[in-house]
Amino acid sequence: SQELEQSPQSLIVQEGKNLTINCTSSKTLYGLYWYKQKYGEGLIFLMMLQKGGEEKSHEKITAKLDEKKQQSSLHITASQPSHAGIYLCGADGREAGGTSYGKLTFGQGTILTVHP
Amino acid sequence: ETGVTQTPRHLVMGMTNKKSLKCEQHLGHNAMYWYKQSAKKPLELMFVYSLEERVENNSVPSRFSPECPNSSHLFLHLHTLQPEDSALYLCASSQFAGGPHNEQFFGPGTRLTVL
């Protein structure tokens, strides 16, 4: 089965600083999803990456998928307290040539704290 | 109501109780999911329904019984649970189950405590 490793597990930054969260897969990624979660609440969809080398941005958050499609990074520029939360990466569980029936495997999450 | 809603938001039950969690999606999606989120463990997929048919059962104990009467509603029936079943239960929906661009939209979750 596919496993996702996120690093770091937690991150504390000062407001205005840039930061990066990494997500590494044990297998080729056929779809990589980034979500944000406030503690004890549901997940908010951020971005989805599919192609090797793909990069997407939304406001101050940029996500990238490497060419080999086994690692993704989430970069936040000029962090704000509103960016605080738990960031999770999720991978499409599809094997080559198969179907995943929507099964997403998630990393353990990265807890981000932003001090004003 | 918009998006994905879940009720109740909090539930405390004894091990001999029977209760149900409800999820409703207002997005016109065809697939719905139940996830379990325990402390210090990755989010775990429990069940997947596609067009009201269960297509994935991720080795979940029979004390959890899902029901999908139509594409907008999903239930999780609980009976004789154990304290280790205490967790945040999240419901999600997506346009289809599987395929590219399978963005899943999540509800706020039900915080379940089993005494």
8 Å CB contact of A41 and B109:
yes
Is it the case that residue A95 has pLDDT exceeding 90? no
Which structure tokens are listed for B56? 């994935």
C-alpha distances in Å from residue B73, one per residue of A22, B26, B52, B70, B94: 35, 9, 9, 6, 13
A16 has pLDDT over 70: yes
| pLDDT tens digits, one per residue of B80-95 | 999 999 999 999 999 9
Mean per-residue pLDDT of chain B: 91
pLDDT tens digits for range A40-85:
889 999 999 988 899 999 999 999 999 888 999 999 999 999 999 9
Cis peptide, bond prior to residue B83, ω within 30 of zero: no
Q: What is the 3-state secondary structure (H, E, C) of chain A?
A: CCCEEEECCEEEEECCCCEEEEEEECCCCCCEEEEEECCCCCEEEEEEECCCCCEEEECCEEEEECCCCCEEEEEECCCCHHHCEEEEEEEECCCCCCCCCCCEEECCCEEEEEEC
Q: Do B43 and A45 touch (CB under 8 A)?
A: no
A116 interface with B at CB cutoff 8 Å: no
Backbone angles phi, psi at A98, to 5 degrees: -110, -170
Is A101 at the interface with chain B, CB within 8 A? yes
CB pairs under 8 A between A and B: 76
B contacts of A88 (beta carbons < 8 Å): 43
Per-residue pLDDT tens for B49-90? 988 888 877 789 999 999 999 999 999 999 999 999 999 999
CA distance A85 to chain B (A): 14
- H or E element that contains B88: strand B87-94
Which of B33, B41, B109 lies at the smallest CB-CB distance from A102?
B33
pLDDT at A19: 98
SS3 B83: helix
Written as six digits, the tokens of A106 are 């998630």
For A67, the token pair is 């060419």
Q: How far apart are CA B112 and CA A97, in angstroms?
A: 38
